[in-house]
Structure 1
Amino acid sequence: METEIHVPVGSPTIRKIPIHVDEYNVKDGAIKLIKELRPTWDINLVKTKLFTEGTTNKLVGCYVDESPEDVVLVRVYGNKTELIVDRDNELKSFQVLHANGCAPRLYCTFNNGICYEFMQGDALGTQDVRDPVLLRLIATEMARIHAIHAHNGCIPKPNLWIKMRKYFSLVATEFTDQASNASRSPRAKRAELLTIRALSVSLCTCKAIMYGQSVITSW
């Protein structure tokens, strides 16, 4: 069982909008959400930018020229990703991080995604993280994240093995391509996992580290 995440007392209630966004037509769905989130915007003047770096989710930014700093990000979850990702825990993590100044503001959820604040900055590359000045800022930010108490006094347990078991319960046990079947089976991989469970587990993140005006943020 995964460690329960406790949202800080006083955190705003997440608004839920009953809209489904077609992952193959994100722009139209995003405009419907903008009508709810930014009712003062002239819909005819709303511009969109599709971000293409994601592999499972679709992400589009919405803004108007008169307020270019106010960008609403619309993230559409990839099909069937909820089988692996605990969306409820994801939202709680979002709220906890935002309450501690480590994540953007969450505007709402919709049937198959979320809308949240765009944070200005540049994603750091391999050369940037070697910069002595930025390195210290990154270390400071990561230490701040690790110091967050999100489990109501409980010592959190790593969910790595829980996720791995869930993954193996979903993957195919054989393939139509016989050459693929010749590779190691899921059973063999499970056996290998048993041999490494005694090893230490580190917290990792796939989120971009952003840098802007000498401020580091982990989102």
Structure 2
Amino acid sequence: MENQRSVVGDGARVVARALVYVVVGGGALIVVATVGSVLGPMLALDLATPAMAAWWTVFTAVAVQGIPFLLLGTVVSAAIGAFVPERVFRRVLPKNPALAVPVAGAAGVVLPGCECASVPVADSLMRRGVAPAAALAFLLSAPAINPVVLVATSIAFPGDPAMVGARLVASLATAVAMGWLWVRFGKEEWLPSARRGGGAGSAGG
């Protein structure tokens, strides 16, 4: 009974924290969009420099594009922490970290987002006991092989599906290779102390 109450309490805290992040992040997105649309042109005119106008345009574009994916990653991360038991990962991922790396890397294809979304998700995976090497493979593969990127690649290279396949294979291979390098050479002391408990035996050296 105590364990059940503890699990429920932890899940409630994770969900509450996620809601706070969503509210704060949404407010920040609205502020950035408002400032960018209203004050951006005024500042560009006042400073009357093409470099400043270009900087403001790029800054606003990056912020507006990145914040939604960061919110998505936070929501997914919170959902993993609150609703997905650790035993699920033990069943899905092989116990051997070297085998878990390609499985986790291939899982990156299901998260529609950029690195802003994959970072909090990878962090949550490590907190749930996933080997750091596997989480690293997911972190690197998700921004490169997710559906949005693959569709964008097919649009950029119409009539050349080989480019989509080449990007998928090359990106996944790179992510898996980096995960295997972590298995061989990674050290636990390189990780923050809060994450060292997950994925025992995943670090080499």
What is the TM-score when the length of structure 2 is the normalising length? 0.29
Return the structure number with greater helix share: 2
What is the TM-score when the length of structure 1 is the normalising length? 0.27
